[in-house]
Structure 1
Amino acid sequence: MAQRWSEATAEPSTPTGTTGKDTTGRRAVALFAPYRGRLVLIALAILVTSALGVVTPFLTQRVFDDALFVPGGPRIGLLTALVGAMIAIAAVSALIGIGQTYLTTVLGNRVMQSLRDQLFAHLQRMHLGFFTSTRTGSIQSRLDNDVGGVQSVVTDTASSILGNVVTVVASVIAMVALSWQLSLVAFVLLPVFLVLQIRVGRVRRKIAARTQSSLSDMSAITQETLSVSGVLLAKVYGRQEHEVARYSSENHRQTTLQIRQTMSGQSFFAVVTGFFALIPAVVYLVAGLLAARGDAGISAGTLVAFTTLQTRLLFPIVNLLRVSLDVQTSLALFGRIFEYLDLVPELRDRPDARPLAKADARGEVEFRDVWFRYPVDAEPGRPSEPGPWALEDLSLHIEPGQLAAVVGPSGAGKTTLSSLVPRLYDVDAGSVRLDGTDVRDLTLASLPGLVGMVTQESYLFHATVAENLRYAAPDATDEQIRAAARAANIAEHLEGLAEGYDTVVGERGYRLSGGEKQRIAIARVILADPRILVLDEATSALDTTSERLVQQALETVMSGRTTIAIAHRLSTILAADVIFAIDRGRLVEQGTHDELLARGGLYAQLYAEQFGAGAVEARCADGVLFTDGKVLTSRSTDDSSAA
């Protein structure tokens, strides 16, 4: 069943009728389906070793009854043969055990590898809203802690269950064959133990779910507070002690849950182990009572063989009970993993979706009667409720090669508009079209080659400059990288570094200034060579010098491309071919800079707020105040510097 996520809890919610324990178990077992051949080999190895293990007590019986304690003294020849058989069985079992361990280890790790790959790939397909509503630490916890938590169970459980079951069944049959009377004594309390085990398992499963949830919270705290941004924020506001206390509180909760999880069932296992430890003494007593009544069916060899089997039975039964509890625990973790795998990506290719080759793209962009709103999640277990409209009945058209600017007050919907072009979200009504084709009719894989983005905060990996640039074009040559850096106005700076393009930029690029990061991001877009470029306030956070350098780089990358510039600083878009002014998700006016100033609407108001009312009056009086972003006539020093 498809699930959504809860913003309040930053964890996927579990809807009514969600996958239950039985279904979770079946899905966990299904993970082994691709490895049937290896499972067969493991099963054969287990059957052989278990069968050999059951033979040994019968050899022991013959040693006592037929070779050692016989009239006339020990029969050395038979004794030697029996002992040799016992040694051979032990050696063969050990060799098979090595192979079995290898097979089970490889199998378990391959299953976990496949599960991690599947989960990571599924998360990559989730749309942007999932990641804005879910803490990164919680996602990492699913991949690391939850998958890691079931790894040992997956690695050992299948072989352990089969091996122990075969051993138990074979041992029980052998014990009944030796003496049904003594078997009744040995098995009398097993049903009680099974009932107790089921109850303990339920408790452990609940504790395991709470433990992993706490571990997820700890991972989120660690990821948020120990990142460069988190540490910087804590130091600036003097909140280090608060963060230490927050982590310590969650760590204390985690420790308490871990202790409870470990100790749950220990009393139960102590009772089981004690019972089986006392059984041999009870068996000896019952054997003595039977002998006193004249029952000669229990010989010394039978008694030794029976107690050997009973001792051998102790370990697989206890192991089965432990494995059963581990399975109960792992089901809670599998349930958390499957919650993420059950989330349905909202952005998927339509059955008839087709790619649009970059060489064939002209760069025409059209919004046709677009309505869009972000989903607002309700309480866990309830369907998502729609939020307010971010865009309402929006229509606009951008010709190929045009520089189109989008302006408006904060919260007007500018960034939302820019996110719809590369299809980071889907519209609720209407359509966004590239070259006349609805983006939903194009394959998702083809869109990144058509639409490139430079955002206000350019993300860089903790890697070298060259590796960050090659993220856009993995096959780019060194010369292509240098050419892109020159076009982005950053080559001189990079070549002046001690390690040049092999310089590690640090987490999120913190070793670089804001302007340097932006120019590297521009160089990365140049390498991608998109037909349509989206600039989401790419210079709004920069100082004047950095803005000038970035603006020069942007002029290079915009050449010959359709460009959509989301602008906060109006000085950066004065020469735009067309300017769209939006407010509260609606297009309120469009035109050139001069046309919109003369109209005296929203754009003129925004312009006046940035440059002063005198700038608008001067523009209207002089006819032309700006051309290509340069001041021709200055009525105000502030106007000139701002421009």
Structure 2
Amino acid sequence: MSDSTTRSATDTAAPSTNRDLKKGSLAALRGLLPFLQPYRGRFLMAGIALVVAAGATLAIPYAFKQMIDLGFGAHAGLHSAERVNEVFVALFAVAVVLALATAARFYTVSWLGERVTADIRSAVYGHVVQQSPAFFETTQTGEVLSRITTDTTLIQAVVGTSISMALRNILLFAGGLVMLCITSPRLTAIIIGLLILTILPIVMFGRRVRKLSRDSQDRVADASAIASEILNAMPTVQAFTHEDIESKRFGATVENAFATAMRRIRARALLTMLAIVLVFGTIVFVLWLGAHAVLQGTMSGGDLGQFILYASIVAGAIGALSEVMGEAQRAAGATERLLELMAVQSEIRAPAQALALPPRAANGAALTLANVTFAYPSRPDSAALAHLNLDIRPGETVAIVGPSGAGKTTLFQLFLRFYDPQQGTIRLDGVDIRQLALHDLRGAVGIVPQDTVIFSADAMENIRYGRADATDEEVMRAARLAAAHEFIERLPNGYKSFLGERGVRLSGGQRQRIAIARALLKNPPLLLLDEATSALDAESERLVQAALEVAMQGRTTVIIAHRLATVQRADRIIVMEDGRIVETGTHRSLVALGGVYANLAALQFHNVHVEHSHE
């Protein structure tokens, strides 16, 4: 196997198999930095609001201390009522500041969560659509969709909520700890020592939660992949009466995802219970010591009240941080999965310094293959094409025939540079296609596939897919040339008629004429026709054939066809077998040769004769 084949298989490996990153590690969240950096100003605003809100929260216990000691303590006097009023006014002012800062923080971080998530979704989708077909040979679309939707939603929760909550509670924890030390150093030293002992088991148990979070996300992706596959093949599923079987298969996958999710939920519940019991048990014990200190007169009632409130803030901060840590671990798993997807690189890349195609000739493009050998990345030991040499002149119509598996469709995929050959070169108008920008190469090639893709849009937009900037008049002109105008006009809303998902409202011949109209609108110098009439009835074939005759004028045309009516019109016929060219000539010369083509022709003539005899 060549180095390029090895690299190809590696670069486009399914992301689900590239699991060598630190699984669920919070370090994976560093991958979000490129998406966060453009919004540094917003993060600064959120940070300011966060500090103000945390400061206001930490001021509340001190206000209570003043109220207790000055208003109700041993030193309270004639002016205690005034002091209490002042404290309550100050307390209300702190509450107003807290409310404003919290609202500002919530709005800012929520905006950041939505904005960053939208950017990530766009970036991942934009990266995926740039991948070569080799990527989609090994990756299910449902898996990709799960990552773009479910995983980005988890990231949204972290960016829009969890980061803010984590920073807020870190500030409250640090500030509360400082105030505890000021209030009672002895009790604070005891509480810190006990909290360290309680945090260790929480951290150890958190690792299991992290692993289960990643497993849960993977099982959801599996269910999405199966659902996507089956929904895209419903006619086949129903034709073979597999509805119940597929429902059970999907149900089993959903149950597997549910079981995995329940293991994660149980672990999270135990982690939360463990954190609450250990942390609050520690605090209750320390407060018991404080209560005895007040009884002994070594501590004031206000100091104890302040200590209780600050201890509650610290405990609440630790509990919230453990909850945020669980969310962050889930988001780390999601980020890891998205980074896997973003790390996949297509082996089909435009050169750094692309060459330009020469000015277009009036009669089409020249196409040359020199010693081309190719094997698909998923089947590297089986050559689809072997040492192929072919020279197609501008304006020539060349038909490629041969049995299934001969390599005909593979040629088209190489012409469009969906793959690169392991050996040899393909030149368009004398330029190696690997030296062309992909947009320029594919812009010079039009294709009418055997299975036409119709998008969920109206007829006008489906034809305009051939050239996005075409006017309505240009679209209708292409439709007329493709013999599609009449049937489109008969649709309920004409060119604005919705054609249904995958064109279910159109016949096979109508879909083919839409594809021909697209190719005509694109107006490429090189036209590829992939068995464009193979599945049509006689009337549809006649209409499509007439449209193809128009489409082939003034351009080079390469046709994959089995029907001799199409083949016989070609200037030259190339006969392929096992990835090699075995015969070349016209219909008459190849029949006279008595080789592979003659056998194919005789078989087809025999089938035609049998069909007529039964009519």
After TM superposition, the score normalised by the length of structure 1 is 0.89
- Which AA in structure 2 matches 1:393? H
Percentage of identical aligned residues: 34
Distance apart, 1:133 and its partner CA = 2.8
- Residues 351-360 or 140-149, more deviating: 351-360
**Contact 1:578–1:591 at 8 Å: present in 2 too?**
yes
Amino acid aligned to 2:552: M
By how many angstroms is 1:178 displaced?
0.1
1:341 corresponds to:
342
Note the residue ranges of structure 1 that are not aligned, 5 or more in a row: 377-384, 614-635
Partner residue of 1:263? 266
Pairing 1:368–2:348 present: no
Paired AA for residue 62 in structure 2: F
The match for 2:313 is 312
The residue matched to 1:12 in structure 2 has which SS? helix
d(CA) in 2 for partners of 1:456 and 1:363? 23
Cα drift, residue 234 of structure 1: 2.3
Match of 1:154 in 2: 159
- Give the distance between the partners of 1:276 and 1:287, measured in 2 at CA: 17
- The AA in structure 2 aligned to 1:68 is F
One-letter amino acid of the structure 2 residue matched with residue 489 of structure 1: A
- In structure 1, the residue matched to 2:556 is 562
TM-aligned CA distance change 1:77 to 1:174, over 3 Å: same
2:492 equivalent among 493, 498, 511: 498
Residues in 2 aligned to 1:276 and 1:73: alpha-carbon distance in whole angstroms: 42
What aligned pairs does 1:223-242 form with structure 2 within 5 A after superposition?
Answer: 223-227=228-232, 230-242=233-245
Q: Does structure 2 retain, via aligned residues, the 8 Å contact 1:363–1:401? A: yes
C-alpha separation between the residues in 2 aligned to 1:533 and 1:71? 97
| SS in structure 1 at match of 2:383 | coil
Give the CA deviation at 1:435.
Answer: 0.3
Structure 1 position 15, deviation (Å): 6.5
Is 1:97–2:87 an aligned residue pair? no
Q: Secondary structure at the match of 2:129?
A: helix
Could you tell me which amino acid in structure 2 is paired with residue 65 of structure 1? D
Deviation at 1:71, TM superposition (A): 4.0
Deviation string, structure 1 residues 516-562 (Cα, Å, up to 9, x no partner)? 10011111111111110001111112122211111111111011110
Quote the offset at 1:58 in angstroms.
1.2
Question: 2:189 matched to 1:184?
Answer: yes
1:628 aligns to what?
none
Asked if 1:53 corresponds to 2:47, the answer is: no
Contact preservation (8 Å) 2:158, 2:328: yes
Displacement of 1:466 in angstroms is 0.9
Structure 1 residues 144 and 71: CA distance shift in structure 2, 3 A: closer
Letter in 1 for 2:228: Q
8 Å contact from structure 2 (residues 8, 347) kept in 1: no
The aligned counterpart of 1:80 is 85
Larger RCO, structures 1/2 (Cα 8 Å, 6+ apart): 2
Question: Which of 398, 402, 405 in structure 2 is aligned with 1:404?
Answer: 398
Paired amino acid for 1:422? L
Contact 1:168/1:313 (8 A) holds in 2: yes
Q: Is the 8 A contact 2:24 2:330 kept in 1?
A: no
Secondary structure at the counterpart of residue 541 of structure 1: coil
What amino acid is the match of 1:234? V
How far did 1:281 drift? 4.5
What amino acid is the match of 1:193? Answer: T
Counterpart-to-counterpart distance in 1, 2:529 and 2:108: 54
Q: Which runs of 5+ in 2 are unaligned?
A: 1-6
**Distance in 1 of aligned mates of 2:173 and 2:8:** 42
State the alpha-carbon separation in 1 of the partners of residues 16 and 577 from structure 2: 34
Q: 1:479 aligns with which of 473, 493, 502?
A: 473
State the partner residue of 1:380. Answer: none
Q: CA deviation at 1:268?
A: 2.8
Q: CA deviation at 1:278?
A: 4.6
Alpha-carbon distance between aligned partners in 2 of 1:288 and 1:589, rounded to the nearest angstrom = 101
Instruction: Kindly indicate whether the alpha-carbon contact (under 8 Å) linking 2:23 and 2:211 is maintained by their aligned counterparts in 1.
Output: no
Q: Please say if residues 11 and 347 of structure 2, whose CA atoms lie closer than 8 Å, have aligned partners that are also in contact.
A: no
2: CA distance between counterparts of 1:309 and 1:212? 38
Aligned mates of 2:611, 2:291 — CA distance in 1? 111
Provide closer, same or farther for how the CA distance between residues 65 and 201 of structure 1 changes in structure 2, counting only shifts above 3 A.
same
- Structure 1 letter corresponding to 2:134: G
Specify the SS of the correspondent of 1:390: strand
Q: 1:207 to 1:278 in 2, by over 3 A?
A: closer
Q: 2:530 aligns with which of 536, 554, 557?
A: 536
| CA 143–489 in structure 1, closer or farther in 2 if over 3 Å, else same | same
Distance 1:338 1:288, change over 3 A: closer
Q: Residue 452 of structure 1 aligns with which residue?
A: 446
* 1:301-346: CA deviation from partner (whole Å, max 9, x where unpaired): 0001110111122221111111112212221111111111111111
2:68–2:302 contact (8 Å) kept in structure 1: yes
* 1:138 alignment partner in structure 2: 143
Deviations 1:583-605, CA, capped at 9 Å, x for gaps: 11111121111221222222112
TM-score (norm 2): 0.93
8 Å contact 1:411–1:584 — kept in the other structure?
A: yes
1:62 aligns with 2:66: yes
| CA–CA separation in structure 2 for the residues paired with 1:570 and 1:351 | 44
Instruction: Report the alpha carbon displacement of residue 3 of structure 1 after superposing the two structures with TM.
Output: 9.4
Q: Aligned residue for 2:4? A: none
**Pairwise CA distance, 1:84:** 1.0
* Aligned pairs for 1:521-600 within 5 A: 521-600=515-594
Aligned-residue offset at 1:190: 1.8
Contact (CA 8 Å) 1:371, 1:393: kept in 2 or not? yes
The 2-side partners of 1:321 and 1:156 are apart by 14
Deviations 1:438-466 (A, max 9, x none): 00111011122200111110000111111
**Structure 2 equivalent of residue 114 of structure 1:** 119
Separation in structure 1 between the aligned mates of residue 203 and residue 32 of structure 2, nearest angstrom? 19
Q: Over aligned residues, Cα RMSD in angstroms?
A: 2.5
Tell me whether 1:222 sits opposite 2:224 in the alignment. Answer: no
Measure how far apart 1:358 and its partner are. 6.8
Equivalent-residue separation in structure 1 for 2:85 and 2:195 (angstroms): 38
SS of residue in 1 equivalent to 2:533? coil
CA distance in 2, matches of 1:22, 1:255: 24
Q: CA deviation at 1:18?
A: 7.6
SS of aligned partner of 2:468:
coil
| Alignment CA distance shift 1:209-1:590 (3 Å) | same
